[in-house]
Amino acid sequence: MIVGIDLAGSEKRPTGFCALNGMSSECCVLYTDKEIIENIERTKPKIVAIDAPLALPKGRKSLEERCDIHLRKCDRQLLDMKIKVFPITLGPMRMLTKRGIKLRRILERKGFKVIEVYPGAAQDIWKIPRKQEGLEKLRRGLMKLGVEGDINKKDITGDELDAITSALVGRAYLHGKHMAIGDPEEILMILPKP
C-alpha cells in the first residue's frame, strides 16, 4: 500500500488523497491535518508520497527570514530540465511549505517513510497531460499507465488525480524505478525514471 497526497496550502482547501494497492486506487478529498494523519494511520502504507515542499533550502533558517535563498537544489534541477517550479518563498507556496514540513515531521515521528514528489514533473516525464490540460486527458493518461479503481469515478477531482500520480511515483520509488534529485542535506525529490 502506498499513499499519495496532493497537499493544499490551507486546511480550508481540498487535499487529494490516494491509497494505491497494486494499481488499484482509492481516492478522496480531505481537509485537515488530523483527517490526513488518521487516513494514513488507517491505511498503514509502506510509503507516503507528498506533493509539497518538505524542506527549506540550505542556508535558509525559516520562511520568515529575509534573504536571497529561494530555491533548493532539486528546484534548480527541475528548472534545468525545463520543468516549471515556484519558489517556496512565493506567496501561497509559503503556506504549503510550512504545512508540508510540519506534516512530514509528524508522520516521520510516527514511523512512516515520507518522500517529496512533484506530480506535474512526473506527468511530463511519463508524457501524459497535466490537469491544466484537462482532467479527462490526465485521467486517461493515468489509466494507460495501468491505474484502476477510483480513477473511474465520474466526479474525480484534479487533486485526486495528482494524488494518484504522487502514489504512482511512490510505487516507482519502492520498485527502484526512480531518480532522486537535489541535495540530501536539503531533501531529495523523487521522480520516476523516464
Q: Average pLDDT in the 2-14 region?
A: 97
Report the half-sphere exposure of 88 (CA within 13 A, side-chain side). Answer: 31
Is 59 in contact with 41 (CB distance < 8 Å)? no
Q: What is the pLDDT of residue 106?
A: 98
Using one digit for the tens of pLDDT, what is the confidence trace for 130-186? 999 999 999 999 999 999 999 999 899 999 999 999 999 999 999 999 999 999 999
Domain count, the chain: 1
Give tens-digit pLDDT for 38-97. Answer: 999 999 999 999 999 999 999 888 888 888 888 999 999 999 999 988 888 888 899 999
pLDDT at 90: 82
Q: Quote the CA–CA distance of 115 and 117 in Å, as a whole number.
A: 6
Closest by Cα among 115, 147, 114, 149 to 128: 147
Domain range spanning residue 112? 2-192
pTM of the model: 0.95
Check pLDDT > 90 for residue 37. Answer: yes
CATH number at residue 122: 3.30.420
